[in-house]
């Protein structure tokens, strides 16, 4: 077989990039071309419908195949309209797409792998676990739109599962079956523990929520591990709902007026995906080379060509500390984790038991698959740059123009005010605002690192998943409070301290930002291991002193100081009150701030608290 001329690889890659990012309108030929790029074999058949068939799925009314090897009638009846069937065949998956008069009428998907039941239940995103829609319906809805954009993204996911799966039961379909089972186990454990301690919330005068409200938060994804979902927002796969802005307002509107808010329809999700960096199935044009799904181990994730990030959007940057991809999770190595339900002996499907993760270095195949996991945040979330490193998560990707296409959640596109805000925070660590009421306000971030808009995290440390979710949830709440505050700011307030020209974007000044994570890696890792309790009091005193000094320097200005004292807490201080954000809830430091904490938690309106303080 002749070798490919290296000089042709670059233009071929460019052509494929155009095809993937602009897949075109829905048509048989467009789908065929796109499927071939992703490695599926394609073939077409012509079939007929019963002339007197009633409505419904075309798959129920097909009579026989015309012009193919399968000419035997399927049902008895008079031939009617012709159906063009495009079949996409992979190593494991077979997808049939039926066109009637050029319009997609039915999509079906089948797998050569039978999932192994766990405790009598399978958690299959292809078929739709419990109440969730099957993948076939999601793909049909994708193909009933005018373009192939969303179908393109979902087909890409299916192609990765198909090509990267090892032999059953160590394939990725069974992996996600087991992953879902264990996430359900974590949720049940957290629910039981919460029920044992509900009275503590009712008796804690500094906690703004009742035990019943905290329990509902857990149930609806705003507490604990999150809510386990499948096939959401026209995307396929496994998800965790971790947050919802304005949840109390949305709940009230739903109860009284049966109205769904924009926030309730667009919650914050973690999408469990896979990356191509280990098994290395050959594909002449990998989508990862196109859209940056596979996070560059050299630390160039989120950058442009050759690591150039001069044109990066606000908040872009990288953090990658080299670590062997085969490093297992550092968790307990004992426990009854081997359960029946798979071919062969010793298949481990129970990874979590009574608060402990049971995965250890002997689980070679399981760790190999877990090393493929990538968490995609929908939408992206502004967080301190060193937060993932504190969790031992050292490969991540931030939002940039290079990865806009493959994460098209509208919330990302509709948040320019917060993007400009954090651009200014990264430049000067504080910002002066003038509210519409005429009040002046200074917001200071004391986090010790730049803020970044996190997009994806390479993730194989399931023992830190709950910690990650809680940390992200805290910053989701803080970001919502900041977003609402900025809405109350005078329209002439400039984020950069100067007149802003129309169409000019505020960008992070890379020259004024701390060095990338590659610099001082050992020092940062050592700092992450320091017992937080040993430095908590000193840091709080330092912040309190800084707040007092700022109050003296800025006469007549309200001061808001924000810091990250501990991984699972965000400090939030005003002139009159001190709070800690923990698991998406404002906790007051004393009884005097309890009412303000309740207002902040249930309305996310800082302006209301400031007005009430005068």
Q: DSSP readout, 16-64? A: HHHHHH---BS-HHHHHHHHHHTT-EEEEEEEEEETT--SS-HHHHEEE
pLDDT per position as a tens digit, 587-600: 999 999 999 999 99
Element housing 218 (H / E): helix 211-219
Q: Is the pLDDT of residue 5 over 90?
A: no
What DSSP character marks residue 327? Answer: P
Give the residue among 361, 359, 357, 356 at the shortest CA–CA distance from 348: 359
Dig out the tokens for 485 from the structure.
């505050």
Residue 565: CA atoms inside 13 Å, Cβ hemisphere, count?
24
Q: Is the pLDDT of residue 313 over 70?
A: no
In this prediction the pTM is 0.77
Confidence of residue 576 (pLDDT cuts 50, 70, 90): confident
pLDDT value for 24: 75
Looking at the DSSP bridge assignments, the partners of residue 298 are: none
Q: Is the pLDDT of residue 404 over 90?
A: no
Q: Is the pLDDT of residue 401 over 80?
A: no
Helix ranges (H only) for 414-562 are 416-428, 465-487, 521-528, 532-553
Q: Is-contact 44 70, C-beta < 8 A?
A: no
Q: Which of 142-156, 438-452, 547-561 has the lowest mean pLDDT?
A: 547-561
Confidence of residue 435 (pLDDT cuts 50, 70, 90): confident
The per-residue pLDDT of the chain, averaged, comes to 77
Taking residues 391-419, what's their average pLDDT? Answer: 72
pLDDT per position as a tens digit, 131-159: 999 999 999 999 999 899 999 999 999 99
Q: Is the pLDDT of residue 189 over 90?
A: yes
Dig out the tokens for 354 from the structure.
């009574």
Distance CA 70, CA 74 (A): 10
Distance CA 384, CA 243 (A): 18
Q: Rounded to 5 degrees, what angle do the CA atoms 606, 612, 614 make?
A: 115
Give the pairing of strands 268-274 and 238-243. Answer: antiparallel
Residues 6+ away with beta carbon under 8 Å from 225: 183, 186, 187, 190, 240, 465, 466, 469
Buried-exposed string 474-499: b where 16+ CB fall within 10 A, e elsewhere: bbbbbbbbbbbbbebbeeeeebbeee
Q: Is the pLDDT of residue 572 over 70?
A: yes
Element housing 154 (H / E): helix 149-164
pLDDT value for 483: 95
Which residue in this structure is represented by tokens 């968790």?
331
């Amino acid at each position: 077989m002749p070798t490919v001329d290296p000089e042709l690889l670059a233009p071929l890659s460019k052509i494929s990039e155009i095809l993937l990012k602009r897949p075109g309108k829905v048509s048989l030929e467009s789908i065929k071309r796109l499927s071939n790029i992703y490695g599926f074999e394609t073939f077409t058949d012509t079939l007929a419908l019963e002339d007197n068939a009633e409505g419904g799925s075309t798959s129920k009314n097909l009579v026989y195949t015309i012009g193919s090897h399968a000419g035997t009638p399927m049902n008895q009846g008079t031939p009617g309209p012709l159906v063009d069937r495009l079949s996409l065949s992979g190593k494991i998956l077979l997808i049939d797409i039926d066109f009637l008069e050029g319009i997609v009428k039915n999509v079906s998907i089948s797998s050569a792998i039978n999932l192994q039941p766990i405790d009598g239940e399978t958690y299959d995103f292809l078929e739709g676990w419990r109440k969730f829609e099957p993948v076939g319906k999601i793909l049909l809805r994708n193909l009933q739109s005018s373009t192939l954009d969303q179908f393109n993204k979902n087909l890409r996911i299916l192609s990765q599962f198909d090509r990267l799966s090892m032999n059953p039961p160590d394939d990725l379909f069974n992996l996600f079956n087991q992953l879902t089972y264990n996430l359900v186990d974590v949720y049940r454990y957290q629910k039981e523990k919460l029920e044992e301690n509900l009275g503590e919330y009712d008796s804690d005068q500094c906690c703004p929520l009742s035990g019943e409200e905290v329990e509902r938060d857990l149930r609806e994804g705003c507490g604990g591990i999150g809510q386990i979902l499948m096939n959401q927002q026209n995307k396929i796969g496994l998800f965790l709902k971790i947050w919802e802005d304005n949840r109390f307002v949305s709940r009230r509107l739903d109860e009284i007026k049966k109205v769904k808010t924009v926030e309730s329809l667009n919650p914050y999700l973690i999408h469990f995906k896979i990356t191509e960096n280990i098994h290395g199935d050959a594909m002449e044009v990998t989508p990862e080379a196109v859209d940056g799904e596979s996070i560059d181990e050299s630390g160039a994730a989120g950058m442009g060509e050759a690591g150039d990030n001069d044109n990066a959007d606000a908040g872009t940057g990288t953090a990658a500390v080299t670590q062997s991809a085969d490093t297992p999770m550092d968790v307990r190595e004992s426990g009854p984790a081997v359960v029946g339900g798979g071919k062969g002996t010793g298949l481990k499907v129970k990874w979590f038991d009574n608060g402990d993760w049971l995965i250890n270095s002997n689980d070679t195949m399981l760790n190999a698959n877990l090393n493929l996991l990538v968490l995609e945040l929908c939408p992206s979330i502004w967080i301190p740059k060193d937060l993932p490193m504190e969790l031992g998560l050292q490969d991540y990707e931030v939002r940039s123009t290079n990865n806009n296409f493959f994460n098209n959640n509208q919330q990302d596109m509709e948040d320019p005010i917060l993007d400009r805000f954090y651009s200014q925070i990264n430049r000067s660590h504080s910002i002066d605002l003038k509210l519409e009421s005429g009040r002046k306000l200074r917001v200071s971030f004391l986090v010790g690192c730049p803020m970044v808009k996190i997009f994806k995290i390479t993730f194989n440390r399931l023992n830190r998943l709950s910690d990650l979710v809680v940390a992200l949830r805290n910053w989701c709440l803080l970001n919502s409070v900041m977003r609402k505050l900025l809405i109350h700011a005078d329209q002439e307030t400039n984020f950069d301290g100067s007149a802003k020209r129309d169409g000019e974007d505020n960008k992070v000044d890379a020259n004024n930002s701390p060095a990338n994570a590659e610099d001082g890696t050992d020092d940062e890792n050592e700092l992450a291991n320091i017992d937080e309790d040993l430095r908590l009091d000193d840091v709080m005193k330092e912040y309190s002193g800084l707040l007092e000094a700022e109050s003296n320097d800025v006469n007549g200005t309200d001061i808001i100081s924000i810091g990250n004292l501990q991984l699972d807490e965000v400090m939030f201080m005003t002139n009159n009150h001190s709070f800690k954000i923990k698991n998406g809830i404002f906790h007051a430091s004393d009884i005097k701030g309890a009412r303000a904490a309740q207002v902040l938690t249930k309305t996310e309106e800082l302006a209301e608290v400031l007005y009430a303080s005068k």
